[in-house]
Amino acid sequence: MAVPSTKISILMPVCNCERFVAEAIESILAQSYQEFEFIIVDDGSTDKSLDIIKFYAIRDKRIKLVSRPNTGIVGALNDGIAIAQGQYLARMDADDIAMPNRLDIQLNYLNSNRHLVGVGSYVELCDESGLGIWTYRMSSDAHCIENALLDGNAGILVHPATMFTMQAIQEIGGYHERWNWAEDFDFYLRLLEIGKLSNVPEVLLRYRQNSNSTNFTHSAAQRTLVLERVNIERKKLSMQPLDQLPGPSHVLAPGYLHLRWSEWALGDRRWKASFKHALISISCNVTTTFKVIKVILRVIWGCTKEYKREKWKISESA
C-alpha cells in the first residue's frame, strides 16, 4: 500500500462537461489511496458542470473548488497548482475515469524510482458511452520516452494519466501560456531538462475518446505547435529539425474516425466495440465501404471462433 503520510493533489480542470464530470469525480473519490486533496477548477462552464461539482464539494471536504471566468486550460491548470499542497500532483480530465488503484500504484512507482519527476500509465481508450475500444500501451523506459518526445511523439504520455513531483513542477514554473493546446508537450520537454519520465505498465485510466474534445477539435493547431516546440528543443540539443511529425497530418472526418476506432477494437478482440463503430462509420457515408464491410466480416468471424473455443472449453470440463 502507499505511504499514508504522503499527500497527493489531484488537479482537474472542467469546462462544459456535464455529461461526464460526475463519473470522473466519483472515480477519484473511490480511490484505494485516500490521503489526497482534489482541486477542481471550473473554467467558466456555461452548462450544469459547476452545479454538479458543488454537489460533490459540499459532501466531501477533500474537494477544493475554484470557479473562475474562462481563460483556457493553461490558466486553469496554473491556478490549481498555485493552491496545491501535495508533494505530488496527479492530472485528471473531467471526461475520464481513474481506475480504483491509480493513485496508490503511481505513488509507489515514484517512491520506488526517485530519479523520476513524473509517471504516466497505460490507458484504456473508450468511446463516449464508456464502451472500451483499445488498450494503449506505451514504453516505460525513460530513454525511449525521451527519444519519442524529441521525435515529436506527444502521445508517449497521456496527460490525464500522469502524476508529477510538485518540486519538479515548481522548478520548471508550471505550464506556459505560449504553448496553449500543446501545453502538455512543452511541459514534458521542460521536465526532461531536470529529470526522467516513465509509464506504469498497467491500465490506470479509462481515456474517453470524444470527437468534440480538444484532441480532435484543435488537432491541426496542436500539431503545428508541437512541431514548432520540438524543433526549438532539438536546436538546443544540436539535432536536425523535423520537417513533419509522425502520424497522419490531417484531421479525420467523423466517419473515418469511427472506422479507425473499429479497427483498433478489432485488433484488441473487442468485437462489440468494433462492430458498433463500423456501423457508425457506414452511417457517416464513409467512401471506403468495402473496408468497413471487411472489418464487420472479421468481427463476425472472430466472434464465431471465440464462441466455438468457449463451447469447446465447456464440453471439455463437463
Residue with cell 463437463: 318
Per-residue model confidence as pLDDT tens digits over 277-303: 888 887 776 556 666 677 777 777 776
Tell whether the model's pLDDT for residue 1 goes beyond 60. no
Of 222, 234, 221, 219, nearest in space to 189 by CA: 234
pLDDT at 274: 86
Q: What is the pLDDT of residue 4?
A: 39
- Percent of the chain past pLDDT 90, that is, above it, reads 73
**Do residues 174 and 186 lie in contact, with contact meaning Cβ atoms separated by under 8 Å?**
no
188 and 79 inside one domain:
yes
User: Cα 276 to the chain's mean position, in Å?
Assistant: 22
Question: What pLDDT does residue 2 have?
Answer: 45
Q: Are 224 and 310 in the same domain?
A: no
Residue 243 lies in a domain: no
Tell me how many degrees the CA angle 265-97-174 measures, rounded to the nearest 5.
115
Q: Is residue 248 assigned to a domain?
A: no
| 2, part of any domain | no
For 50-59, 78-87, 262-271, which range has the lowest pLDDT when averaged over its residues? Answer: 262-271
Q: What angle do CA 248, 254, 259 make, to 5 degrees?
A: 70
- The gap between the terminal CA atoms of the chain, to the nearest Å, is 41
Position 224 confidence tier, pLDDT thresholds 50, 70, 90: very high
Residue with cell 490531417: 250
Q: Indicate the residue among 236, 264, 288 that finishes a domain.
A: 236
Place of cell 500543446: 182
Phi and psi based region of residue 72 (left: phi greater than 0; alpha: psi -120 to 50; beta: remaining): left
Question: What is the span of the domain harbouring residue 32?
Answer: 8-236
State how far the alpha carbon of 67 is from the alpha carbons of 15, 41, 177, in Å. Answer: 10, 6, 19
pLDDT tens string 21-30: 999 999 999 9
* Chosen domain end from 236, 268, 292: 236
If asked whether residues 98 and 135 sit together in one domain, one would say: yes
Residue type, 269: R
Digit-coded pLDDT (tens) for 28-52: 999 999 999 999 999 999 999 999 9
Whether residue 258 is found in the same domain as residue 210: no
Q: Closest by alpha carbon to 123, among 137, 142, 105?
A: 137
Q: Mean pLDDT over residues 70-83, rounded?
A: 97
Q: Amino acid identity of 267? A: G
> Do the beta carbons of residue 198 and residue 242 sit within 8 Å?
no
CA 273 to chain CA centroid, nearest Å:
19
For the four alpha carbons of 72, 74, 75 and 80, in that order, the dihedral sign comes to: positive
The reply to whether 3 falls in a domain is: no
pLDDT over 50 (residue 97): yes
- CATH (domain of 148): 3.90.550.10
For residue 71, the model assigns a pLDDT of 93
The pTM score is 0.90
Supply the mean pLDDT for the chain.
90
Residue 312 and residue 183 share a domain? no
Clarify whether residues 290 and 182 are in a common domain: no
Task: In whole angstroms, give the CA distance from residue 142 to residue 136.
Answer: 17
Number of domains in the chain: 2
Per-residue pLDDT of 129-178, as tens digits, reads 999 999 999 999 999 999 999 999 999 999 999 999 999 999 999 999 99
For position 315, what pLDDT does the model report?
A: 54
Q: Is residue 244 part of a domain?
A: no
Write down the pLDDT at residue 247: 76
Q: What percent of the chain is modeled with pLDDT above 70? A: 87
Q: Do 310 and 191 fall within a single domain?
A: no
Residue 195 DSSP code: S
Beta bridge partners of 124: 135, 206
Q: Is residue 246 part of a domain?
A: no
Within a 10 A sphere around the Cβ of 191, how many other Cβ atoms? 23
**Does 309 score more than 80 pLDDT?**
no
Which three cell numbers mark 7?
A: 499527500
Choose the final residue of a domain: 188, 203, 236. 236
Residues 225 and 281 in one domain: no
Looking up cell 490507458 gives 123
pLDDT at position 290 is: 63
